[in-house]
Chain A
Amino acid sequence: MKRTFSVLVENQPGVLTRVAGLFGRRGFNIQSLAVGVTQDPSLSRMTIVVDGDDRVLEQVQKQLNKLVNVIKVSVLEAPEAIGRELALVRVHAPPAQRTAIMQVVDIFRAKIVDVARRSLVVEITGDEDKVSAMVDLLREFGIMEVVRTGKIAMARGSKESRGGMWHGQSTIRSGRRPRALARLAGGGTGVWEPGECAGAELEG
């Protein structure tokens, strides 16, 4: 069974390694992984498609949540979510085949983005099935190269997958300013001006 996880992470060095390492170490089977920064530059969004049984998928979610830099893990599946992939396909296109190729491109509402003497580069976006169907059809003409992005996904409607946060609320950090560390710090202050940390309390 495949499941799409949308993972909101802190945009920090090493986070991708942590996530990738987790999948490797626990033997989880990644189908695709796409990463990009969000509207808040301190946060990135990873969309990860995983194949596995129920126990594995539950573990994936829990182990992701266990990573300190992971802020939220949501499951995004159709019909509640939109999933998209982008593919670039370089297809063999001698003059005699071009019209036929362009018909396929039209049907899929894809685009030709580069033209060379004996080949074309076609760009297509869509869900995984659509992209695969198009690639299959183009195969007849002779595919020279395919590059696919892996899926990205977003919930439909006004709900943000980040959960409880909405546009314009600057960062999740300012949303919950940690009440800091007195239990551990013993309330002392440092010579280096520990700012808001001293005296407050952090749960857990």
Chain B
Amino acid sequence: MIGAEVLWNSLLQHGVEVIFGYPGGAVIPVYDVLPSSLRHVLVRHEQAAAMAADGYARATGRLGACIATSGPGALNLLCGLTNAFLDSAPVLAITGQVPTGQLGRDAFQETDIFGATMPLTKHNYLVNRVEDLPRILNEAVYLAQAGRKGPVLVDLPRDVAEAEVPPRVDASPRLPGYKPRRDGHPAQVARAAEALASARKPLLLVGGGVKWAEAAPLAVRLAEKAGLPVASTLMGLGTVPADHPLFLGMIGMHGTVAANRAVQECDVLLALGVRFSDRVTGKREAFATGAQIIHVDVDPAELGKNVPAHIPIVGDVGRVLEGLIPLVPERRRQEWLDEVDSFRSPAGQDGVGASAVRALARVTGDLARRGDLILVTDVGQHQMWVAQHYPFYHPRTLLTSGGLGAMGYGLPAAVGAQIGCPGKRVVLVTGDGSLQINLQELATVRQEDLPIKIVLLDNGSLGMVRQWQEMFFDGNLVAVSLGGPDWVKLAEAYGIKAWRCSDPGELEDGLATLMAEPGPGLLHCRVPAEEKVLPMVPAGEPLARIIVSW
């Protein structure tokens, strides 16, 4: 058995069913022995392979896998891997490499992917000897999914892939330096319970870590028992159902007035699986200044990194909650809840973009409530309209690029999600800029026959950049206008049905038609370029400086 066969066997053994990839010289020997029991999805750009693996992982909670050839192929993965890294998605990337004898000689398609991906992955390997491969694969699969999840890359030189593996090699993982802590320290958990018990205005903040820990129901239970209003980061949407009376919405730059105000007013902030990014905190020094912060995360390095953690708890969010819930007294906290309710502002006048998202919510409401719909977004105004106006009821029903904000994530992530969850409806809400970043994947959608529904909010511009230029650069619009293609023709060229919707009054009908289509489809919606995403806290400002109208 050769290295390449060991690779595939190991993946199958670890339960990998699908791999997204793109072949090339250094991996032809690997592809040569691809087993028929493993589904290989041929994407049209390696970035899409990494992003599809990420979308697969986020939608299913399982490991996503991708493969690329050396040099250009491997380099094309990087944006997708970084995206998975920043949002803690478990992804395994396999890259081909020139034979070991050519390493360091600037051989054809040789790049130092091991060096290049060191800061972009949770961990990475360059396999020098075939006898190390079984162990490395075991470690890589484990590391991607253990503790704080993330991408792991294995760089496989061609001669190693082709070499015969000696019988009986020790494949046990050797990770003396890696021991994630799962249970929170009991004394810290007790301190957290006391802080919550004596709080007058406690607030729960949920982030993406809650879904990775499969702890959403526990977070809801704690909120209900202790009477905690709940704010969510972008990555935490879906943890607490959008219609839950305690739910205040998203916090941060495009968060709701209520969530942003509550975090400034609270006296105890219980933060679960969040990393307090600048998009969440606004000006750090002015964030939750009156609050004692209880910060729970499986990654100790997150505690105290961006904001002080008065009660830091290292551990799996679910395990910590299991310990915490019995210790917190039952509370109603009517006064605080009334106060928080008074922060809720009546919805402003929706523009076409926001209305389109609301119309989508009406058309797909039942699916969403049942957890049968996965909504994927790209990056820009349309992304924030979705975050603000689409109600998420379940974890893993919103897939969006948070930490990296990588335009182009949407279409490949939708591909990954639909392949991972064939029984669910996958809807992509994208922009005319973002869709063109990985447009080529329309071919993958067609070839794999994926019934993805694409809602294109076309404002003829890089809307979010345009918004910043209008609001903060005196309206000096530079390099933001996009002369788009004929989207309907374009989609049809790929064999994908498409409809046009130029009248906002027809949005709901258009969306209903789209959703009724059994195969893939695209609805092209025109949105005025001047529309803004509001509310907005300007970058670097305190959350209190929230702009609600423009």
Contact = CB atoms under 8 A, between A and B. Distances in A.
Interface of A: 9-10, 13-14, 17-18, 21-22, 25, 55, 58-59, 62-63, 65-72, 172-173, 175-178, 180-181, 184-186, 188-197, 200, 202-204
Given A21-B118, A180-B173, A186-B15, A195 B305 contact: no
A178 B178 CA distance: 10
A96 to B, nearest CB: 52
A202 B126 contact: no
B171 interface: yes
A188 B11 CA distance: 11
Contacts of A180: 138, 172-173
A58 B306 CA distance: 12
B443 interface: no
Contacts of B118: 14, 17-18, 21
Interface in B106-159: 114-115, 118-119, 122-123, 126, 128, 134-135, 138, 141-143, 145-147
A190 B135 CA distance: 12
A185 B14 contact: yes
B176 A10 contact: yes
A178 B177 contact: no
A194 to B, nearest CB: 4
The 6 closest A-B pairs by CB, nearest first: A62-B301, A194-B171, A204-B146, A71-B177, A204-B180, A197-B172
Contact of A65 (B119, B167, B176, B301): B301
Secondary structure dominating the interface of A: mixed
B174 A173 contact: yes
Nearest to B305: A59
Q: How large is the interface on B (under 10, 10 to 19, 20 to 34, 35 or more residues)?
A: 35 or more
Contacts of B1: 191-192
Given A14-B118, A186-B14, A62 B138 contact: no
A20 to B, nearest CB: 10
A68 B173 contact: no
B173 A190 contact: no
A113 B169 CA distance: 50
Given A190-B6, A197-B171, 4 more contacts: A68-B177, A173-B174, A190-B134, A195-B169
Interface string B400-423: 000000000000000000000000
Given A13-B126, A68-B123, A69-B177, A185 B169 contact: no
Nearest to B1: A192
B170 A196 contact: yes
Contacts of A202: 142, 146, 173
Contact of A66 (B134, B169, B299): B299
Contacts, number: 124
A111 to B, nearest CB: 38
A193 B168 contact: yes
A167 B332 CA distance: 58
A67 B177 contact: yes
Residue from A177, A178, A180, A195 with most neighbouring chain B CB atoms (10 Å) = A178
B232 to A, nearest CB: 26
B9 interface: yes
Nearest to A70: B177
Secondary structure dominating the interface of B: loop
A177 B172 CA distance: 9
B167 A193 contact: yes
Contact of A186 (B13, B173, B305): B13
B479 interface: no
B160 to A, nearest CB: 14
A203 B9 contact: no
B114 A178 contact: no
B304 A178 contact: no
Contacts of A204: 142, 146-147, 178-180, 182
A62 B114 CA distance: 23
A190 B172 contact: no
Contacts of B172: 177-178, 180, 194-197, 200
Given A65-B300, A203-B182, A190 B15 contact: no
B183 to A, nearest CB: 10
B10 interface: yes
A184 B14 contact: yes
A186 B138 CA distance: 12
Residue from B119, B141, B169, B299 with most neighbouring chain A CB atoms (10 Å) = B119
B304 to A, nearest CB: 6
11 contacts: A13-B126, A62-B303, A180-B172, A190-B171, A192-B165, A193-B169, A195-B172, A196-B172, A197-B171, A200-B172, A204-B178
A196 to B, nearest CB: 5
A153 B412 CA distance: 51
Nearest to A66: B301
A62 B300 contact: yes
Contacts of B174: 173, 178
Given A68-B177, A193-B167, A58 B13 contact: no
B187 interface: no
B142 A184 contact: yes
B478 interface: no
Contacts of A184: 14-15, 141-142, 145
Interface string B61-76: 0000000000000000
B9 A192 contact: yes
B516 interface: no
B403 to A, nearest CB: 15
A70 to B, nearest CB: 5
Given A14-B126, A176-B176, A190 B119 contact: no
B304 A58 contact: yes
Interface in B3-40: 6, 9-10, 13-15
Contact of B13 (A18, A59, A190): A190
B119 A21 contact: yes
Contacts of B123: 68
A56 to B, nearest CB: 11
Residue from B119, B138, B169, B300 with most neighbouring chain A CB atoms (10 Å) = B138
Contacts of A25: 119
B314 to A, nearest CB: 10
